[in-house]
Every structure is written in C-alpha cells, then in structure tokens.
Amino acid sequence: MNNLDDLYREIILDHYRSPRNRGELPVPPALRVEGVNPLCGDELVLYLDLRDGVLADIKITGHGCSISQASSSLMSAAVKGQTLAKVREAIETFKGLMSVHASALEHRDAPIEVDLKRLGELAALQGVVKFPVRIKCATLAWNALTQGLDEAGA
C-alpha cells in the first residue's frame, strides 16, 4: 500500500510552504525558460544566471502542486552556485532516481542504484516514484533546467 507520508515528507511540505529562490532575474543577462505540464496546467518559469561555467543564480516563479513546487525549490537550492558540470551531474542523478524507480515499479523492493547521499535533501523526493502519475510533477523543473542549459549551449 502506498503511504502518503512517503510522498509528502516534511522536507517537501517545508519547501512547498516556503519555497526557496522565488522571484525573477533581469533578462538578459539571465536566461528565461518555461516549463509547462499540459495535462494538469502546472506552469513554472526558471531564470538562470549562467556565467564563467557556473550557475551563479537561479530564481523561479509559477504555480503548481506541492510536488512540482517543492521539487523546483529543492532543485534551486541544490544547483545554485554550482559549476555547470555539477549541475548536469545533479540533473542526471535526479532523473536516474526517478527512472530507476519507474522501471522498478513492478518490484518495489528492488535495490535503488542511486547514491542517495549524493542527493542530499533531494532524496526526499524518492517517495514520488511510488506514485507514478506524480513523477511528471517532480521532473517538471528539472526538464526546464535541462532545456535552459541546452539552449545556452552550456
């Protein structure tokens, strides 16, 4: 049986109620990227300040459910001030967490091949994969971040 407490961890509720890095950055120099989930109408906008191989600043606006909002907030805290290599690494690790779980849905006790320690607070989102319809909520911000980096050629 799915447990709601797996999904709505205290860290997630905290980031939902008090999202980090909310706001906008002047464009340019910042890059603006939109993420939209057409199925549920959730929308967010990322502002990325990329300079000298570093994601110097990130701000987020938009609206959505607790999972998409908390995931975007957790993401911003994890990648702000990081080198682009580290940002890409975080994206890969996070997406791995989502897809590993997704492919292991039929075997829920299968070992997770993602180093949760490297995820830090992001590991709080691992419960999302027990609720497959919510995975797209958690990945919305990350897909937008990927798109932004790709557009910037970073």
Partner 1 sequence: MAPGFDVTSFDARRVRADTPGLNRVIFGRPITYLDSGATSLPPRAVIEAVSRYYELHHANVHRAVFQTAGEATAVYEGAREATARFINAPGGAGEVVFTKNTTESINLVAHSWGGANLGAGDVVLLSEMEHHANIVPWFELRDRVGVEVRFLPVGDDFRLDLTDLDRHLEGVKLLSISAMSNVLGTINPVKALAAAAHARGAKVCVDAAQSVAHDVTDVANLDVDFFAFSGHKMLGPTGIGVLWVREEILASMPPFLGGGGMISDVRLDGYTPAAGPTRFEAGTPPIAESAGLAAAVRYLEGLGMANVAAHERTLTGAALARLGREFGDRVRVIGPADLECRGGVVSLDVAGVHAHDVAQVLDQIGVCVRPGHHCAKPLMRRFGLTSTVRASFGPYSLAGDIDVLVEGLGQAIEMFATP
Residues within the interface to partner 1 (CB under 8 A): 1-2, 4, 7-8, 13, 16-17, 39-43, 63-67, 69, 131, 134, 137
- Min separation Cβ 56 and partner 1, Å: 31
Rg of the chain over Cα atoms, rounded to whole angstroms, equals: 15
- Distance CA(133)–CA(39), nearest Å, equals 11
Q: Which helix (H) or strand (E) holds 64?
A: none
Nearer to partner 1, 55 or 137 (CB): 137
Question: Quick one: 59 or 134, whose CB is closer to partner 1?
Answer: 134
Query: ω before 29 within 30° of 0 (cis)?
Result: yes
The minimum distance between CB 18 and partner 1, in angstroms, equals 9
Cβ neighbourhood burial of 99 (10 Å; 0-12, 13-18, 19+): middle
What CA–CA distance (Å, rounded) separates 22 from 120?
Answer: 21
Shortest Cβ distance from residue 39 to partner 1 (Å)?
A: 7
* Overall residue count recorded for the chain in this entry: 154
Nearer to partner 1, 66 or 99 (CB): 66
CB closer to partner 1 out of 13 and 110: 13
Closest separation between CB of residue 128 and partner 1, Å? 11
